[in-house]
Amino acid sequence: MLIVANWKAYVEDFAKAKELLVLSKKASTRSAHTIVLAPPAPFLAALALKEASAVAFAAQDVSLTPGGAQTGEVTAAAVKAAGAAYAFIGHSERRAAGDTPEIIVEKLTRAFAQDLTPILCVGERERDTDGRYLSFIREELTSALAPFSPKERMKIVIAYEPIWAIGKTAENAIGEDDLAEMILYIRKVLSELLPGKSSLKTPVLYGGSVEPENVATLAHATHIDGFLIGHASVDTVTFGKILKELSA
């Protein structure tokens, strides 16, 4: 599985960042899973370039700009040089901050140009009984991927993160049956956008209140390829339990 830890802005101390890195490296050597860490931008190079690591790294975002006189921006080329192999595009928190579908396409373009693997985040705000949320997910996927070539579309990772499930307890988050159905639906949409059976090979992750109490059930009862873990990934005890559950 692909286990992606989104540290967001929770980690502000470099000693804590190194502690989480050590935990992740140990877990990686004990399992066949790929662990990807997404630290805040100032810590990325210090962690990723310090030594050859058993884990991979992701940028939490990339700038629209290709470089130049843009104070404060972090370009795709810069995060690639800092050691990132992946980049989040379209995370719900970036969409809430103003990332439109057009901006997401431009950021995907920047990531592809630097050979970064985009982790495209999609997810509905609410789950209505009429199934309108399915059309919402289809539009997010189609608007992001349609401008690109089939070859580029095949390089992407999809992270399904229903916004309504974020911050809830494991008992109140998405159930395994609902998640399994959504993964099948996402793959159906991808089959319309990708050539042949490529959609079956595209990794689809889940993010939204992933906890030690529900991660094993979600992993074993669905066709998920991994998880995008937020707040739980910055607590060494909780994240350690999640990794242990997934390696059982």
pLDDT tens, position by position, 161-183: 999 888 776 666 788 999 999 99
Sign of the dihedral through C-alpha 107, 88, 59, 41: positive
Which residues does 42 contact at the CB level (< 8 Å), separation at least 6?
none
Tokens of 141: 């996927």
The total of structural domains in the chain comes to: 1
Structure pTM? 0.95
Q: Is 161 a catalytic residue?
A: yes
C-alpha distances (whole Å) from 51 to each of 33, 56, 60, 131, 154 are 20, 12, 21, 48, 30
Whether residue 52 is predicted with pLDDT greater than 80 in this model: the reply is no
| Residue among 60, 2, 1, 25 at smallest CA distance from 236 | 25
Q: Which residues contact 115 (CB under 8 A, 6 or more apart)?
A: 80
Closest alpha carbon to 227 in 172, 95, 124, 245:
245
Kindly report the CATH number assigned to the domain that includes residue 235: 3.20.20.70
- Do residues 175 and 214 lie in contact, with contact meaning Cβ atoms separated by under 8 Å? no
Q: Work out the mean pLDDT of the chain and round it to a whole number.
A: 93
Look up 211 and say whether it is catalytic: no
Catalytic residue among 12, 161, 176, 223: 161
Q: Which one from 91, 106, 124, 140 is the annotated catalytic residue? A: 91
DSSP secondary structure, 109-120, as one string: HHHHHTT-EEEE
> What is the extent of the structural domain holding 18?
2-247
What is the pLDDT at residue 171?
67
Distance CA 2, CA 69 (A): 36
pLDDT in tens, 229-240: 999 999 999 999
What DSSP element (H or E) covers 154?
Answer: none
Integer Cα distance of 153 and 43 in angstroms:
29
